[in-house]
Every structure is written in structure tokens, then in C-alpha cells.
Amino acid sequence: MNVDSILQEIGAMKTKMNKKEKIVKIPEEAIETIKSNMPTSGYQMLRESLIMAIGALEKQIPKKPHRNYKKFSGLWCKCGWYLGQKQCLDIKYCPNCGQAILLEDE
Ligand SMILES: [Zn+2]
């Protein structure tokens, strides 16, 4: 076997692995997995990083925008960003904080 054929084989293996079905399919499962495997002491950098990862994953879980009638009608993200009027809203993420937005028909 020469180097080229070995590299070719590695490439094929990588493709195979990428095509393999993932076990963790949704952010909720990833969050649960991280939380249940979080080191309880020591590993401060790892724990801080995992907490950051949980925060990022939580934003991937679509949340319904809320209405704030005190200011004016329309939909707002939980971060306080005005998203717009529902009928002309066509976004999947808050442009301010990155929260996934769930637009349901009422
Ligand atoms: Zn936001």
C-alpha cells in the first residue's frame, strides 16, 4: 500500500463516519448528556466551557416570541429585541441574541 491509497482509505472512512446516524439528535438530548457528565469538581476550564455550550444549545431550542402590549404590539424576543409584526415575520433566529424563534399559528 502506498501513501496515496492509505489517504484515500482514510477519506472513505471519514465519509462513512459522517454518514453514520447520530445518537444525539436534538439540543435537549445534548444538554442532558452534558449535564449528566459534568465534572463535579476540578476541571474549572472544562466546566465553564460546558456551561457555555449548554447556553448555546439552549438557544437552539425554538422559543415562542412574546407580546408586549405596554410598548406596542408585535413580537419580542426574550432578550428584549423587537422582532416585528407577526404577519410579516419571516425569521428563524433573533438577530440580536441568536435565540431560535418558534412562530406558531394561533
Ligand atoms: Zn433575542
Q: CA angle at residue 75 from 74 to 81, to 5 degrees?
A: 115
In a domain, 49, yes or no: yes
Question: Please, where are the H alpha helices in the chain?
Answer: 3-19, 27-36, 44-58
pLDDT at 58 over 70: yes
Domain span at residue 72?
62-106
* Distance from the alpha carbon of residue 62 to the mean position of ligand 1, in angstroms: 11
Q: CA angle at residue 95 from 92 to 101, to 5 degrees?
A: 30
Whether residues 103 and 68 fall in one domain: yes
* Distance from the alpha carbon of residue 50 to the mean position of ligand 1, in angstroms: 21
Whether residues 95 and 55 fall in one domain: no
Q: Name the DSSP letter for residue 88.
A: G
Give me the mean pLDDT over the 20-41 stretch.
92
Instruction: Let me know how many helices (H) and strands (E) the chain has, helices first.
Output: 3, 3
In a domain, 77, yes or no: yes
Confidence grade of residue 8 (pLDDT, cut at 50, 70, 90): confident
* Distance from the alpha carbon of residue 36 to the mean position of ligand 1, in angstroms: 28
Question: Three-class SS of residue 86?
Answer: helix
Task: Report the predicted TM-score, pTM, of the whole model to 2 decimal places.
Answer: 0.68
Whether residues 100 and 88 fall in one domain: yes
Whether residues 57 and 71 fall in one domain: no
In a domain, 87, yes or no: yes
Whether residues 71 and 55 fall in one domain: no
